[in-house]
Amino acid sequence: MLITGKIIAFAEEKGIEVLDTASSYGDSEIVLGKVLPTQHCFRIVTKTPIFKTNQITPRDASILKSTLELSLKRLRLCRVYGLLVHHVDDLLVPGGRLLIDEMQKLITSGLVEKMGVSLYTGEQIDQILELFTPDIIQLPVSVFDQRLIESGHLKKLKNKGVEIHARSIFLQGLLLIEPELIPPYFESFSTHFSLYSQFLEMNNLSRLQAALMFVLRMEELDTVLVGVSCTKDLKEIFNAMNTIQDINTNMSFLAIDDEKMINPLFWKL
């Protein structure tokens, strides 16, 4: 609790605006609610339950509402900035529209300011846009995972006025690991890791600086999400941001299309 309080205090001091959480992240909402200052400027984003069902029912929509109400109680808030569908497939099965309608009701009632979805692929983006235009979409992007840039989906979302929150910018920490510490599972990608190391050396960048530089200079992104476990982690991120050189280098050559590398769901560690 003390550590989280220090992280929040430092984040507020540095002008961080968005805090991302979820009802399924253990006791994160409870802890966050206890350490948030009474008067703060953070925009809090939380998520719906994960239903993982073949069909969404009115009961599921009711559960979504009650879960949001519980999240507000835990966070000690009267409203949240964003509510995202945690499992995108919940919107794509029969009845998924019920969840959209329920979130819209929560906006109308003043409990939620913006609604959206957390997803992974361009195909999912296209499917969601056929259903509705979310206020917010949270998606993965990193120097290795450039799929949604290359496919044009980031520009497509931006042209539709969607607020884009980027996650997994460190690829679950993989982009920050020194070569000798990379797990054996990634041995088949050793050539690519070597290419990345050469790029860092040529441009005098640390791994943290390069990962941050890649996303921070992307005009399509409205918010960049990072996970930290202590204030030291957050301070290192800010120090890296403040010391990044203005390198006008195209980093598209560092992209990897193989999902066995860029999708942690496929990792066998």
Lowest mean pLDDT segment, chosen from 70-84, 118-132, 155-169, 253-267: 253-267
Q: Which of 154, 174, 149 is nearest to 263 (CA)?
A: 174
pLDDT of 205 higher than 80: yes
CA atoms of 39 and 37, how far apart (whole Å): 5
pLDDT of 61 higher than 70: yes
Mean pLDDT of the chain: 94
pLDDT of 88 higher than 80: yes
Structure tokens at 23: 């009802």
Band (21; pLDDT cuts 50, 70, 90): very high
**Could you tell me the pTM of the whole model?**
0.94
